[in-house]
Amino acid sequence: MIQLKNYINGELIAPKTNSYLDNYNPATGKVYSQIPNSDDEDVELAYTAAKEAFKSWSSTPKEKRSYYLIKIADLIEQKLDKLALAESIDNGKPLKLAKTVDIPRAASNFRFYGTGILHYAASAHSMEDDAINYTLKQPVGVAGCISPWNLPLYLFSWKIAPALAAGCTVVAKPSEVTPMTAYLLSEICIEAGLPNGVLNIVHGLGNKVGNAIVSHSGIPLISFTGGTATGKHIAYIAAPMFKKLSLELGGKNPNIIFADCNYEKMLATTLHSSFANQGQICLCGSRIYVERSIYEKFKNDLVSKTKELLVGNPLDDKTKVGAVVSKQHKEKILSYIELAKQEGGIILCGGVEVKLEGEHENGYYISPTIIEGLDYNCRTNQEEIFGPVVTITPFDTDDEALMMANSTMYGLASMVWTENLTRAHKLAKEIHAGIVWINCWLLRDLRTPFGGVKASGVGREGGFEALDFFTEPKNVCIKY
461 is catalytic: no
Query: Any bridge partners for residue 302, and if so which?
Result: none
Residue 411 CB, nearest approach to ligand NDP (Å): 10
Residue 131 CB, nearest approach to ligand NDP (Å): 42
- Of 116, 139, 226, 350, the one binding ligand NDP (CB under 6 A) is 226
Total residues at the site for ligand NDP (CB under 6 A)? 33
Cβ closest to ligand NDP, residue 328 vs residue 377: 328
- Of 123, 207, 262, 397, the one binding ligand NDP (CB under 6 A) is 207
Q: Is 210 in the site for ligand NDP (CB under 6 A)?
A: yes
Cβ closest to ligand NDP, residue 148 vs residue 314: 148
Q: CA–CA separation, 227 vs 406, rounded Å? A: 19
Cβ closest to ligand NDP, residue 231 vs residue 350: 231
Cβ closest to ligand NDP, residue 225 vs residue 313: 225
CA angle 439, 440, 442 (to 5 degrees): 155
Residue 212 CB, nearest approach to ligand NDP (Å): 8
Q: Which of residues 280-299 bind ligand NDP (CB under 6 A)?
A: 282
- Which amino acid belongs to residue 79? K
477 is catalytic: no
Q: Is 251 in the site for ligand NDP (CB under 6 A)?
A: yes
Q: Is 225 in the site for ligand NDP (CB under 6 A)?
A: yes
Q: Is 36 in the site for ligand NDP (CB under 6 A)?
A: no
Q: Which of residues 386-405 bind ligand NDP (CB under 6 A)?
A: 386
Specify whether the CB–CB gap between 155 and 195 falls below 8 A: no
Q: CA–CA separation, 378 vs 341, rounded Å? A: 11
Q: Is 279 in the site for ligand NDP (CB under 6 A)?
A: no
Q: Is 206 in the site for ligand NDP (CB under 6 A)?
A: yes
Q: Which of residues 163-202 bind ligand NDP (CB under 6 A)?
A: 173, 175-177
Q: Is 26 in the site for ligand NDP (CB under 6 A)?
A: no
Nearest to 407, CA basis, from 256, 252, 282: 252
Specify whether the CB–CB gap between 41 and 78 falls below 8 A: no
Structural Rg of the chain based on CA atoms: 23
Specify whether the CB–CB gap between 395 and 389 falls below 8 A: no
For the window 116-155, what string marks contact with ligand NDP as x by the rule CB under 6 A?
------------------------------xxxxx----x
Residue 425 CB, nearest approach to ligand NDP (Å): 25
Q: Is 205 in the site for ligand NDP (CB under 6 A)?
A: yes
For 1, 6, 97, 99, 321, the CA distances from 88, given in Å and listed in that order, are: 18, 21, 8, 9, 12
Residue 76 CB, nearest approach to ligand NDP (Å): 20
Cβ closest to ligand NDP, residue 351 vs residue 434: 434
Phi, psi (5° rounding) for residue 366? -130, 135
- Of 248, 276, 395, 441, the one binding ligand NDP (CB under 6 A) is 248
Q: Is 227 in the site for ligand NDP (CB under 6 A)?
A: yes
Q: Is 442 in the site for ligand NDP (CB under 6 A)?
A: no
Q: Which of residues 327-386 bind ligand NDP (CB under 6 A)?
A: 384, 386
With b for 16 or more beta-carbon neighbours within 10 A and e for fewer, the 23-46 pattern comes to bbbbbbbeeebbbbbbbbebbbbb
| Active-site residue (options: 248, 291, 372, 384) | 248
Cβ closest to ligand NDP, residue 116 vs residue 251: 251
Instruction: Please give the distance of CA 129 from its chain centroid, rounded to a whole number.
Output: 48
| Active-site residue (options: 145, 168, 282, 284) | 282
Query: Any bridge partners for residue 136, and if so which?
Result: 474
Q: What are the catalytic residues? A: 248, 282
Binding residues vs ligand NDP (CB under 6 A): 146-150, 155, 173, 175-177, 205-207, 210-211, 214, 225-227, 230, 233-234, 248-251, 282, 384, 386, 412, 452, 456-457
